[in-house]
Amino acid sequence: MSIWSGEAPVPVVFLHGFATSTQMTWVEPGWFDLVKEGGRRPLGYDLLGHGDADTPDDIEAYKDLVTPVVEQLPFTPDEGRQIDIVGYSLGARTALDLALRHPQLVRRLVLGGIGRNVVAGPAMGAGEDRAAADYRFEGLFRTAGAERAEILKKVGEAQSQRDDRHFTADQLATVTQPTLLVIGTEDFAGPPGPLADLLPNVTVKELPGVDHFSLPKQFGFIDAALDFLDCVPTW
């Protein structure tokens, strides 16, 4: 299976969760080192309002997390090159948004820590409350300082106010890229079925006993993602 696009390997873009950063979610647990050892180039972009990213005053700016990511890529969507995306929690939502808005840009998707909570309609159910918990608890656990907390509050409020925050069946039917969905059995964002049933080309991996916040450090998630993206280190 080819991992090449044009003259260079397809880069792997990492998108972190709410109230974290690329450094905390991906670099520190070793994802970047493993991807590099597997022959790929990892690219991590802090989402708006997080880490080293911009922190606009206007709350409306935080409704669109996709555009700032796309603008930082080393090539434009119309150049014919592609990316693989690994997203966790809010980053997984953003990855799906990106795939819907720029389908030609995305080759493969790895989505962690989302499930019923991102699906519109009857399947949403209690997942709506769990989605709110996603924002609330990650902020409590990860935020340091009043100024940062205020910024993250804007991000959470802006995302919760989006009319298109939950994906419809018609939208998800167009996400035809090979997709790996990984979630723990104790994750409040689950279960995965309502989302997986609407993705036409999905593989689901559930990790027994794993909760939402510990997912990025789980070897079961890391190993499954590296294998799916054909970048397992060959030590």
Q: Average per-residue pLDDT in the chain? A: 87
Q: C-alpha distances in angstroms, 174 versus 43, 99, 151, 164?
A: 25, 9, 33, 16
Q: In this predicted structure, what is the pLDDT of residue 222? A: 98
pTM value? Answer: 0.88
Q: For residues 198 and 200, what is the distance between their CA atoms, to the nearest angstrom? A: 6
Do β-strands 202-207 and 8-9 pair in parallel, antiparallel, or remain unpaired? unpaired
Which pair of structure tokens corresponds to residue 28? 């520190």
DSSP-assigned letter for residue 132: H
pLDDT in tens, 66-100: 999 999 999 999 999 999 999 999 999 999 999 99
The torsion angles phi and psi of 81, rounded to 5 degrees, stand at: -95, 165
Find where tokens 């990492």 sit.
14
Res. 41 pLDDT band, cuts 50 70 90: very high
Domains, the chain, in order of start with CATH, read 8-228 (3.40.50.1820)
Question: Residue 1 pLDDT > 70, yes or no?
Answer: no
Please classify residue 186 by burial: count the beta carbons closer than 10 Å to its beta carbon, then call 0-12 exposed, 13-18 middle and 19+ buried: middle
pLDDT in tens, 122-179: 654 444 444 444 445 454 445 456 677 788 888 888 888 877 779 999 999 999 999 9
